[in-house]
Amino acid sequence: MIPVQGVAGKKVAVLGLGRSGLAAARALQAGGAEVLLWDDGEAARAKAEAEGFTLTDLIRRGGVESCAMLVTSPGIPHLYPAPHPVIARALELGIPVDNDIGLFFRSYATEDWDDFGQAPKVVCITGSNGKSTTTALIHHILEVSGRPCQMGGNIGRGVLDLDPARDNEVVVLELSSYQTELARALTPDVAVFTNLSPDHIDRHNGMGGYFAAKRRLFAEGGPDRAVVGVDEAEGRYLAGQLAEGPGDDRVIRISSGQRLEGFAWTVFARKGFLSEWRHGKQAASVDLRGVAALPGAHNHQNACAAWAVCRTLGLAPKQIEAAFQSFAGLPHRSQVVGERAGVRFVNDSKATNVDSAAQALRAYPAIRWIAGGQGKEGGIAALAPDMGSVVKAYLIGASAAEFAGQLGDVPFEICGDMATAVARAAEEAQAGEVVLLSPAAASFDQYANFEKRGEDFTARVKALLGQG
């Protein structure tokens, strides 16, 4: 745990008692604060009480008036589409509103660092897609290279549940727009922007607000080094805003699909090969085509980001390349579950929207595609340009009929449930094909979350392969 600094003897309210909220409450108590806790959900309140916390209804008038600070969980709206009543009241009174990320950055450095040979560093990854894979890949590379490291934020442990810093340690954090938007302190040593595509639009009142939330990590965080994906206009704009010019190597531009020339430091992937260039000279080249856990152009961009970060941290190309090969990937993100008679089974249940599904469809040459669930506005019509590799679609969930009407000439079968879809796809698949679960839809019509959906797929495949 990282005790929060600067709160001793102060009364601090905590709104939202999920993973980050409870961790914040513990860390605030450890820092000497008097903590007032509340959650609108009965189950969350019961969990907090089971830990010994006393609850205070912050919604009632007088709930936050005496507090020096309000700490809120990232999922609770603080501005758009409308602020939570407790947050609105705090803002009316001028009470500072923060989140666990802000508390982490104000508390991570301590006097103990004076005795370290090398100061710890914090690497933060944000963007629309690829954050989790990039974060996990960086952590994996550091771990197998023998560098002390921890991983947290939007993946793994909550930031205030991390252990106190060690000599020469690197903390790798995945940060969502919800987390970067509100944090009052943001001071990463290295910051990564992967890409941008429409998401959380209501929460940020449009794409401009969404991008602005991501941009705070750089504009207000002031990292020593920024790794920026430049395949979208927003990334190019951000890189231009941060750099003094093309010769500024504090900004490392990365890309998947285009050669980057004329800049001081770039890392890009083309046709399956990663290249690092510094001041007009190639510093390294790696063949990514055989890295099973990083298939497709989107994962090659993740590899470029991880490569750039690890190079800034002093790792050698051979160390990074070797770690790529041992990376197992993340569950539910292009996860290879098994193989039989030349047919691979891939769990990409995390693809809950068309942008994520498009990346998976582009990654394989011949696909038996399991799709469907609780479809989002527009269905899968936008995936038409990416369906050329689909041999046949096997549709499940509430959106099955809608998706069937948007497949064009692609053969399909309405299977309804996962058991039928897996069985039919496996029965018809030929050597060299991939049975891919990439739903392009939410899971809530049939599952509690995308993880449960992916676990169901994995269990049925393993049973089919005799591994259950």
| pLDDT, tens digit (0-9, with 9 covering 90-100), for 63-103 | 899 999 999 999 899 999 999 999 999 999 999 999 999 99
pLDDT (tens digit per residue) in 23-48: 999 999 999 999 999 999 999 999 99
Q: Is 133 annotated as a binding residue?
A: yes
pLDDT tens-digit series, residues 244-291: 999 999 999 999 999 999 999 999 999 999 999 999 999 999 999 989
347 assigned to a ligand binding site:
no
107 known member of a binding site? no
User: Above 90 in pLDDT, residue 329?
Assistant: no
- The pLDDT assigned to 48 comes to 94
CB 211 within 8 A of CB 160: no
Map residue 168 onto helix, strand or coil.
coil
In one-letter notation, the amino acid at residue 335 is Q
The pLDDT of residue 468 is: 63
Query: Binding residue per annotation — 145?
Result: no
Residues 6+ positions from 412 with CB-CB distance below 8 Å:
392, 393, 394, 395, 403, 404
Residues facing 98 on adjacent strands: 71
* Averaged confidence pLDDT in the chain: 95
The token duo for 65 is 């008036």
Q: Is 154 annotated as a binding residue?
A: no
CATH 3.40.1190.10 residue ranges of the chain are 103-326
Domain 103-326 -> CATH class: alpha beta
Find residue 392's DSSP bridge partners. 368
**Where do the CATH 3.90.190.20 domains begin and end in the chain?**
335-464
Q: For residue 181, give both structure tokens.
A: 């938007």
Where, residue-wise, is CATH 3.40.50.720 in the chain?
11-98
pLDDT tops 90 at residue 199: no
Give 130-175 pLDDT, tens digit per residue. Answer: 999 999 999 999 999 999 999 999 888 999 999 999 999 999 999 9
Question: What mean pLDDT comes out for the span 309-316?
Answer: 98
Q: Which CATH architecture has domain 11-98?
A: 3-Layer(aba) Sandwich (3.40)
CATH number for the domain whose boundaries are 335-464:
3.90.190.20
| pLDDT for the residue 399 | 97
Q: For 447, phi and psi rounded to 5 degrees?
A: -135, 160
pLDDT value of position 12: 97
Separation between Cα atoms, residue 321 and residue 235, nearest integer Å: 26
Is 127 annotated in some ligand binding site? yes
458 is in an annotated binding site: no
